[in-house]
Amino acid sequence: MAHIPVLKDEVIKYLDPRPGENFIDGTCGGGGHAQEILKHITPGGRILCLDLDKETIERLQKKFNGERVAGRMIFVNDNFGDLEKIVQKNNFSPVKGILLDLGMSSDQLDESGRGFSFLKDEPLDMRYWQGNELAARQIVNQWSPLEIEKILEEYGEEKFARKISLEIGRARKLKSIQTTRELLEVIGRAVPEKYKHGRTNFATRTFQTLRIAVNDELENLEKFLPQSFRVLAGGGRLVIISFQSLEDRIVKNFFRQSAKEKKLEILTKKPLTPSEEEIFANPRSRSAKLRAVKLL
């Protein structure tokens, strides 16, 4: 499936990029949003593109080689949770806007071979950064059922967390769980038949939980938010697209508290969601929520 940037028009509306301005895409993924922003900041503007996945950065450098050579796009293989350090190291300022799209890129889901999707039979890895010691298979095979249940409840808000964790414990006594298909079968045995026919796949929350735990996604988001304010110039804008309720809650609460402290103006009173037309064209966009703020 080709990469389609989610809520593209809304991102441009709320970032409001103009010629000569500098922007940061903290999760560059397939590069669709960055490419669209670049159209609006040319001539003179630059965009700093970050991604924790080394393969993603290498792919983007090839795709946008002309822009990279010209200095219009700067690619960095690093974690948006270290935003200030990255900006200082690359001497990138002033920054007019920052985008953070917390969704998976289609390339990662379809081509990484690291088990991000349950639609393919791949090794249970789920690491964005291969230097990370913790992989999904270690959680599934080495963590106690109680620990697995806890993260399924906390990160995935999975109502069958206990049944799934106990079934994982039973299954791995017979044979270690090494692939996405093996895990999918285990989850399928743990949940009621009715749960398998909902709008969202019955394995979605478990796979999402493992990915979040492996990559410290919620902790990185909490680290990023205050740094983004220190990096942005006065009147700068921050747009965040989340795909999971815990992520959205963290963003919403931080924005509300900062608005009370008169640090920002909330531009989206309620989160923006994709239209029916966009969801039809790109089903992966269905759970996206966009929030935008402007620094005072």
Instruction: Give the C-alpha separation, 162 to 191, whole Å.
Output: 10
Let me know how long the chain is.
Answer: 296
| Residue 105: per-residue pLDDT | 67
Task: Give residues with Cβ within 8 angstroms of 130, minimum separation 6.
Answer: 54
Instruction: Give the C-alpha separation, 146 to 144, whole Å.
Output: 5
Q: Across residues 206-229, what is the average pLDDT?
A: 96
Q: Quote the DSSP letter at residue 115.
A: S
The mean of the pLDDT values for the chain is 94
Instruction: Give the C-alpha separation, 73 to 24, whole Å.
Output: 10
Instruction: Give the C-alpha separation, 50 to 175, whole Å.
Output: 39
| Residue 2: per-residue pLDDT | 57
Task: Check whether 181 has a pLDDT greater than 90.
Answer: yes
Q: Across residues 189-212, what is the average pLDDT?
A: 93
* Residue 259 or residue 103, greater confidence: 259
Portion of the chain with pLDDT greater than 70, in percent: 96
Instruction: Give the C-alpha separation, 209 to 204, whole Å.
Output: 9
State which CATH number among 1.10.150.170, 3.40.640.10, 2.40.128.20, 3.50.50.60 fits the domain covering 112-215.
Answer: 1.10.150.170
3-class SS at 93? Answer: coil
| Residue 110: per-residue pLDDT | 60
Domain boundaries, the chain: 8-107+217-295, 112-215
In the CATH scheme, what is the code of domain 8-107+217-295? 3.40.50.150
Contact in structure between 4 and 32 (CB atoms under 8 Å): yes
Q: Tens digits of per-residue pLDDT, 126-157?
A: 998 878 899 999 999 999 999 999 999 999 99
| Residue 1: per-residue pLDDT | 47
Q: Tens digits of per-residue pLDDT, 257-293?
A: 999 999 999 999 999 999 999 999 998 899 999 999 9
This prediction has a pTM of 0.92
Same fold for the domain at 8-107+217-295 and the one at 112-215? Answer: no
3-class SS at 10? Answer: helix
Q: Quote the DSSP letter at residue 39.
A: H
Closest CA to 155 of 227, 243, 252: 243
Contact in structure between 48 and 23 (CB atoms under 8 Å): yes
| Residue 111: per-residue pLDDT | 65
